[in-house]
Amino acid sequence: MTTLNHANLSTSNVPRLAEFFCSIFGFSQLKQRADKFALLRNRDGFLLTLMYDKHVASGQQYPPTFHIGFLQPTASAVDRVYEELTARNYAAPTPAKLQRGGPPAYGFYCEAPGGIVVEVSAMEVEASA
């Protein structure tokens, strides 16, 4: 079996995006080179590299449907992530039922610093959602 164990994201703001992933999603920063590169790791050992890219900084964006996701075990866990985001003054829409063609989910999409779209969702849609 092969496991996805790292990803590289290009961004216009490495320090702010690194702080976002560390403060909200529990990543630890392993390395940083000025404002151009950061290496992060989460509790599961997944490595996330953030690299400054002049094309992203000049307005070139990822494709419209590109995003990264943080699947949560329950709708309540989605709500907790939303509360943490808003407590730290990050903009995020209120979590809601998401219907995307498959089974419904509960969550939200928000833009992280540096132009990365992040999904936070749970496949379990609680009755109160």
Domains of the chain: 1-54 (3.10.180.10), 61-129 (3.10.180.10)
Rounded Cα–Cα distance for residues 78 and 103 (Å): 17
Burial class of 102 by CB neighbour count within 10 A (0 to 12, 13 to 18, 19+) = exposed
| pTM for the model | 0.87
Task: Count how many Cα atoms sit within 13 Å of the Cα of residue 65 in the half-sphere of its side chain.
Answer: 1
User: For 22-53, b where at least 16 C-beta lie within 10 A, e where not — what string?
Assistant: eebbebebeeeeeeeebbbbeeeeeebbbebb
* Choice between 20 and 56, residue whose per-residue pLDDT is larger: 20
For residue range 94-113, what is the model confidence (pLDDT) as tens digits? 999 998 777 889 999 999 98
Q: What value does the mean pLDDT take over residues 66-83?
A: 95
Give the pLDDT confidence score for residue 128 in this predicted structure: 46
For residue range 6-42, what is the model confidence (pLDDT) as tens digits? 999 999 899 999 999 999 999 999 999 999 999 999 9
Rounded Cα–Cα distance for residues 112 and 90 (Å): 8
User: Would the pLDDT of 127 be above 70?
Assistant: no
